[in-house]
Amino acid sequence: MATIIAPSILSANFVHLADEVKRVVEAGAEYVHVDVMDGSFVPEITIGAGVVKCLRKETDAVLDVHLMVEHPETQLESFAKAGADIITFHVEATRHPHRVIQKIHELGCKAGVALNPGTSLSAVEELVEDADMILIMTVNPGYGGQKFIESMLGKIHMLYHMIEEMETNCDIEVDGGINAQTSVDVREAGANVLVAGSAIYGAADVAKAIKDIRGNEIVHHHDDEEDYDE
Ligand code: DX5
Ligand code: ZN
């Protein structure tokens, strides 16, 4: 599966957001990752639906909205109307994750389900069939520029096999600490949508940073399980 690169605008200069988005899309990024924080599910407050509405007018790229908010069900309509293409919510933030997926689909968007590092894959086992994407957080959500948590590689690989065994289609997105080095490991483990904030916006040459994170296409073999602690 071809790798999709999703620069996180959390690391962009918010004063020049339209230009910052165009810069990464022109450099080859397929998605634009929008980190929405509510000051409750995570400590900081970032971007609301109003900003997504403005960005929608500036770009045709896929707007990949990552809701780090409590009660995500209350926010779906405004982000869908604002022009989000993918809405990802945290499984820890709602009692009815399956209903949230249904609602996102009714609103005409793709549905993603995110898991914090401390949340077991079992939390999404019953959702994989209906979700379009599972987001494995490779840092604890809340801030850009944190260190990649190595032990998430086994989780990514387990999810990859879960999806294969179910014979369903579901993207595996990773978010947090992704750079040219960690990208190799997550792609080998089975991730195909890579979010990167500081590694892209912090780079002198954005196009090179995106190319380096994308790397060479990886062919998955069925006998590679022993590489991971599962
Ligand atoms: C973290 C956000 C990420 C963040 C990634 O809470 O969800 O999208 O921007 O930043 P880096 O790539 O710098 O770890
Ligand atoms: Zn994110």
Q: pLDDT, tens digit, for every residue of 178-217? A: 999 999 999 999 999 999 999 999 999 999 999 999 998 8
Q: State the DSSP string of 24-53.
A: HHHTT-SEEEEEEEBSSSSS-B---HHHHH
**Ligand 1 pocket, residue 110 CB under 6 Å:** no
Residue 224 pLDDT class (50, 70, 90 cuts): low
**How far from the centroid of its chain's Cα atoms is residue 81's Cα?**
20
Higher-confidence position of 218 and 54 = 54
Helix/strand/coil percentages in the chain, nearest 5: 40, 20, 40
Identify the pLDDT of residue 164: 97
**Ligand 1 pocket, residue 155 CB under 6 Å:** no
Pocket test for ligand 1, best of 152, 175, 194 (most atoms within 8 A of CB): 175
Residue 228 pLDDT class (50, 70, 90 cuts): confident
Give CA angle at 17 (11, 18), nearest 5°.
140
Distance CA 135, CA 63 (A): 15
Q: What is the pLDDT of residues 12-70, one digit of tens each?
A: 999 999 999 999 999 999 999 999 999 999 999 999 999 999 999 999 999 999 999 99
Give CA angle at 63 (1, 98), nearest 5°.
75
Q: What is the pLDDT of residues 82-117, one digit of tens each?
A: 999 999 999 999 999 999 999 999 999 999 999 999
DSSP state of 16: G
195 alpha carbon – ligand 2 mean position (Å) = 7
Distance CA 123, CA 119 (A): 7
Distance CA 113, CA 128 (A): 9
**Ligand 1 pocket, residue 90 CB under 6 Å:** no
Catalytic residue positions, numbered: 35, 175
Identify the pLDDT of residue 54: 98
Residue 225 pLDDT class (50, 70, 90 cuts): low
222 alpha carbon – ligand 2 mean position (Å) = 30
161 alpha carbon – ligand 2 mean position (Å) = 23
Q: Is the pLDDT of residue 226 over 60?
A: no
Query: Tokens in use for 221?
Result: 């073999």
**Ligand 1 pocket, residue 33 CB under 6 Å:** yes
